[in-house]
Structures are given as structure tokens and as C-alpha cells.
A and B are shown apart, each in its own frame.
Chain A
Amino acid sequence: MNVEIISDDQRDALQEIVNIGMGQAGASIARVLGEFVELSVPQISAVDADAIPVTLATLAGSGVASAVRQAFLGELRGEAIVIFTEHSASDLAELLSYGNEVDGPASRELLLDISNVLVGACLGGIAELLHAEIGFSAPSLLADQVAPGELVQAETIAARCALLVEVRFGLEKRVFRSHLVMLMPEDAVAALQRALDRFIEEI
């Protein structure tokens, strides 16, 4: 696959947009959760479809992980995957006012809720900067406490290759480490390029 699926200028613009979008997201999330959010510098890359499972597994590290997927649709189209490598269910429950009893279904619901917040804020921020209209599907659990290699099955991936944006999320005072991975299939990248070009024009 052609590694340069977007031009250098577009890449620079996307990097900055993603930085700003994630920064804004961090602030919103901090308001909702009431705690300081740690964000890494977002990384942009292009991957072949068969490299996606390995890429996710590398982000997940060693030990078990869970993952939630959520689609974004409209002018920007793709899927966001949130990988949870380390979290304390009781900490998250506290943040989202779940109360004391965090049983199996509640702990899964927690992951979906946190993902929904992260994905909505990050992708919403990016879409807003690009003046693009997007909507979201409901989140669903992709993998529950599995080995990193099992987060997603290669055979089920529909795209041939994808644009990948990855950022690490942590909460300063809590046991919480997650990766947000935004994946856009190659046939959706054209729309992204148009939006980026528009943005570059308008600066």
C-alpha cells in the first residue's frame, strides 16, 4: 500500500488538527470526569489491513486487555477503537457515579460509557475544526479481557488499508491507561483530504 496516502501538507494539517482536537477533548473530558486528563502526542500513520491486529496488540502491550469499538459516520467515516490495558473498575465507577455494585454487566457498561465520552469528545473536536458533520453509532464491546493478539480478528477486517491516529489517555490520580485508535478505511480518506484542503485554504 502507498504509505503516502495523504500529502505532507495535509499530514501537517491533520497532525495539528488532531492535536487541537484532542486537547479540547481532554478539557471536556476533564470537566465531565472532574479530574486532570493526561494526553500523549497523537501519532498518525498508515497501516495495511493485515497489520491492524498486530498494531493494536503492540499498543495493548502484555497482559489482558479489553476493547470497545464505535463507528463515526458522515463526512468523516471510520471506526474508533478504545483499548483498555489497565483500569480499576471501582475507580471508573466512581467517576461515572455507578455506585458500589459493579458486577459483570456494569463493568462492561462502564467501558462503553467511558469510550463513548472519549470518542465523542476527540472525534467531535476534530470534526468541528474541519467543519465536517459527523454522527456516531452506539459503542459495542469488541473484546473482553483477552490476550492482546485477540483484540480484533484479521479475517473480519473489511478495509484493505487504513489511516490510523493513536493517542494515549490516562488519568493522573487513577489507575487508568487506555489507547484511542481512530481508523479510516482507504475509501474514506478522499473525503478527509478534501476537508483538510479546505482547512489549509482557510488559514
Chain B
Amino acid sequence: MHAPAPVGESAALLESLVERIDVGVFAVDRAGTLVLWNRFMAVHSGKSRADTLGKNLFALFPELPRRWLEKKLESVFVLGNNAFTLWELRPYLFRFPHHRPITGGLDAMRQNVTFLPLRTSGGEVTLVCGTVFDYTDTAMAQDRLHDAIAALSREKEAQGQLIVKLEAAQNQLLQSEKMASIGQLAAGIAHEINNPVGFVNSNLQTLKKYCQQMLGLIAAYQPAEARIDNPAMLAEISRIKQALDIEFLQEDLPALIKESEDGLFRIKKIVEDLKDFSHVNESDWQYADLNAGLDSTLNVVWNEVKYKATVDKNYGQLPAVECLAAQLNQVFMNLIINAVQAIDESRGMGTIALSTGHQDAWVWVEVKDSGQGMSEEVQKRIFEPFFTTKPVGKGTGLGMSVSYNIVQKHHGRIDLDSLPGAGTRFRIWLPVSQRAAAP
């Protein structure tokens, strides 16, 4: 600043301005002695002019960071340029109480300070003037803004999580509804098919009997053929026999009937599974030992398992669980059979791990295999009725969807974990008691 020294009235005006301006104004010489101290500084520091002029700034305010401030002032003396401090990085230089004894605010006044060089006419910087601006209101507004933004962010995150949960719940609901409507459809179809299947089966049995009888008759006629004199009749019989290829017929008839019987049997099985799936037959709920159920199921299918996998059992202590035991056993059987079928025999014996456990109001049963695992797409569809990865003719594809329904009926859930090439893990969670479980 190169202003000439003011004279007389204008000097008094400027002095008054500096004294009364609503900004802290003070000045020090190179030794740190205060030569200017305006009203703002006096009022906020509690030290008047008389207390401060002629004394050392650091002696009066020992809490100032001395070395840092001395360096800063030094740079202004040497370079002749302004220096600054900003409240966001350094909340304050002088610790002045904020001016809100009633309404409250921050712990101390927030300040921006500018240091200006003051030169004499010779051009040397002889004094450094500090101007202290009160930024408390701005700081408080900023704080409020930050808090508001932080709160909004938290809410947004919570909402995001809620959305994820809702999506999951919606998916489950859709799945259940799908299953329910398919269940109804299945019941209807089962019912419709049963009747015609019934009489076709019975007719087939009769047909079988008639065939056997007819063939018997023809066999009885065979030796009589030798006794026929009539050459025209013999020729006719011979022609018919050739046209019919009677030997082939005699072989093929029983085979045809057997295949038809098998076909009908398969249809019957499908209908039974369908009926299971739609739960035409409900029985009563009982408290059962799931470990025992698992063991007896394993027994039933042992023949299928023993050549393909070793079984590791790791049963926990389970309380008696309220359930439809027969249906749960069906589920266990389904999982074990699937586990066996997943194992790639060309790689030798696989492992199936059966484990159970008890956690709070729940129990869990887990079937883990070292088989070929399932891709993401298969995992998504595994519980769909009629979805199957087995070749045509093997299995009906209803097993997993039936199991899913049974577990749902028990108010439980099935967790699935699978990695192609590494294996699959199914874990069924069931509530110990039905009353306590959510509807």
C-alpha cells in the first residue's frame, strides 16, 4: 500500500474508519510489536489498545502458533505480497468466543485473515497489517449444508438397500404365485388324465390276455396244419403266414404290449408326482427327528449311492421339528438322488456331505456334492416345474419343484450354492415350530 500519509480532517476520518470498521485490524513491526489495534480486536479479545500497543503480539497471545506465524509474517516483509489464512483450513487465528451466548453456534469465531504489507515512502515494508474477518455464520451454514447432505446420502443408501430387499421379496412372491397357479393346473390335469389312463390300462391288460389267448390258439392250430389235404386252403394259409410274417408277430406282440404297459406306468408315475406337487394328499403334522429321517432316506436309496459316492455325515444336535415327515423325506431323497446324478463317474468316486444344524428357532439340513455343479442359468430355473437337465426319459423334472413346494409349506427356505465344475450345495432351513413361523 502506497497511500500518502493523510493530513488533518481526512486523517481523522480514516482513523475513525479503521477504528470502527466491522473487521479486525491490527499491525505489527518486524519485531512483532503491535502498533495498531482496532475496536473489533479489542472487543473480541478483551484486551484494549492500552493493554496491547507497544507489546509483543506473541507475548500477549501465547496460544498463537508462533513459529508458523512468524514465518508467514516474514514472507510478507521480504516479498511484499499479501498472505492469507482461510477458515476451512485453519478455523481461526485468534481464539475469540463466538458472539451467540444465547442462540449458540460453534466453539469459537471462524476467521479469514489477510496480511498486507505496509510501506513507508522509501519502499521498504516496515509493517504488516492483519485484517480479521468473521466467517462464523458462513461456517455454520456450511456445516448445516454438510449435515443435510450427509443425512440425504445415508437415506439414499438405506433406500437403495430397501429397494434391493423389495426386489428380492417381489421375486420370491412371483415365484410362489407361479408355483401356486402351476400347482392348480397340475391338479386339474392329473385329475383329467387319471380316468382315461385308468381305462386304457385296464383295456391293455385285457388286450394282453386276448393276445396271449389268440397266440395260444394259433400255436394249437400249428400241428393241425400238417393234416390239411386241401391244397388251395394250404396255399392260402401259407400266403397269409408269409404276409403276416407270423414268427415276427409272435415275438413282437408281447414286446409291444410290454412297452405300452411301461408307457402307461410312466404316465401313472407322472400323474402321481403331479398330485404330490399340488398336494392332493395332506396328512398330519408331527414332531420328528430329521436326523433319523435323513438316515432312513439314505438307506432307501443306498443302492443308487454306494457305487458312485462316499457319504460324509456331520449331524448336529437337532430338536424335534414340527413337520410332515413323509414329505420332508421325499425332499431329502430328491436332493440325494440329484447329488448322485451330478457326479461325473469318469472321475471316480465323488463325495456327498450330509450335515444338519440348529440355530435359534431354526434347523437346517444340507446336502453337498462334488459333482459337476450348475451354471447361473440353470440355478435360476432349477425349481421350475418340468425344468430338467436330465436326458429325455430319465426323470420327470418335477422333483425339485415339488421339494420347493414342500419346503414352502413348512415356511422354510432352500439356499442354493453352486459352481460349475466344483459342486453344488443345497441347504434347507426349517422352523422348529410352525406356530412361531411367519405365515
A binds B: yes
Residues of A whose CB lies within 8 Å of any CB of B are 28-29, 31-32, 96-99, 105-106, 108-109, 112-113, 116-117, 120-121, 124, 135-136, 138-140
B99 to chain A, nearest CB (A): 24
Given the contacts A28-B78, A124-B81, A136-B81, A96 and B68 also touching, CB distance less than 8 Å: yes
- When chains A and B are docked, how far (Å) is the Cα of A31 from the Cα of B74? 10
Is there an interface contact between B79 and A32, defined as CB atoms closer than 8 Å?
yes
Contacts of B71 in A (CB 8 A): 96-97
Is there an interface contact between B79 and A112, defined as CB atoms closer than 8 Å?
no
Instruction: For A123, give the chain B residue with the smallest CB separation.
Output: B81
Excluding A108-B89, A120-B79, A138-B86, 16 further A-B contacts by CB distance (< 8 Å) are A28-B78, A31-B78, A97-B70, A98-B68, A99-B65, A99-B68, A105-B89, A109-B89, A109-B90, A112-B89, A113-B72, A116-B81, A120-B82, A136-B81, A136-B82, A140-B86
B88 at the interface (CB under 8 A from A): yes
Is there an interface contact between A121 and B79, defined as CB atoms closer than 8 Å?
yes
Residues 238-274 of B contacting A (Cβ, < 8 Å): none
Q: 6 closest A-B pairs (Cβ-Cβ)?
A: A120-B81, A97-B71, A97-B67, A138-B84, A109-B89, A105-B89
- When chains A and B are docked, how far (Å) is the Cα of A116 from the Cα of B71? 13
Q: Interface residues of B, CB < 8 Å — how many?
A: 22
B205 at the interface (CB under 8 A from A): no
Residues of B whose CB lies within 8 Å of any CB of A are 65, 67-68, 70-72, 74-75, 78-86, 88-90, 112, 114
Given the contacts A32-B74, A32-B78, A112 and B86 also touching, CB distance less than 8 Å: yes
Is there an interface contact between A124 and B67, defined as CB atoms closer than 8 Å?
no
Is there an interface contact between B86 and A124, defined as CB atoms closer than 8 Å?
no
B111 to chain A, nearest CB (A): 13
A172 to chain B, nearest CB (A): 20
Contacts of B79 in A (CB 8 A): 28-29, 32, 117, 120-121, 124
Given the contacts A31-B78, A113-B83, A124-B81, A97 and B89 also touching, CB distance less than 8 Å: no
Query: Which of B68, B74, B78, B84 is A116 in contact with, Cβ under 8 Å?
Result: B84
Instruction: Offer 7 A-B interface pairs, CB within 8 angstroms, sorted by A.
Output: A28-B78, A97-B71, A105-B88, A105-B90, A136-B81, A138-B112, A139-B84
Contacts of A97 in B (CB 8 A): 67-68, 70-71
Instruction: For A70, give the chain B residue with the smallest CB separation.
Output: B84
Contacts of B84 in A (CB 8 A): 112, 116, 138-139
B262 to chain A, nearest CB (A): 71
Contacts of B74 in A (CB 8 A): 32
- When chains A and B are docked, how far (Å) is the Cα of A124 from the Cα of B83? 13
- When chains A and B are docked, how far (Å) is the Cα of A100 from the Cα of B74? 20
Contacts of A121 in B (CB 8 A): 79, 81
B123 to chain A, nearest CB (A): 11
Contacts of A136 in B (CB 8 A): 81-82
- When chains A and B are docked, how far (Å) is the Cα of A112 from the Cα of B79? 16
- When chains A and B are docked, how far (Å) is the Cα of A117 from the Cα of B114? 14
- When chains A and B are docked, how far (Å) is the Cα of A105 from the Cα of B78? 26
Contacts of B78 in A (CB 8 A): 28, 31-32
- When chains A and B are docked, how far (Å) is the Cα of A108 from the Cα of B70? 19
- When chains A and B are docked, how far (Å) is the Cα of A98 from the Cα of B74? 14
Instruction: For B77, give the chain A residue with the smallest CB separation.
Output: A32
Contacts of B112 in A (CB 8 A): 138
B46 to chain A, nearest CB (A): 27
Instruction: For B66, give the chain A residue with the smallest CB separation.
Output: A97
Instruction: For B81, give the chain A residue with the smallest CB separation.
Output: A120
Contacts of A117 in B (CB 8 A): 75, 79, 81
Instruction: For A116, give the chain B residue with the smallest CB separation.
Output: B83
- When chains A and B are docked, how far (Å) is the Cα of A59 from the Cα of B213? 104
- When chains A and B are docked, how far (Å) is the Cα of A28 from the Cα of B85? 21
Is there an interface contact between A99 and B89, defined as CB atoms closer than 8 Å?
no
Query: Which of B72, B75, B80 is A124 in contact with, Cβ under 8 Å?
Result: B80
Contacts of A124 in B (CB 8 A): 79-81
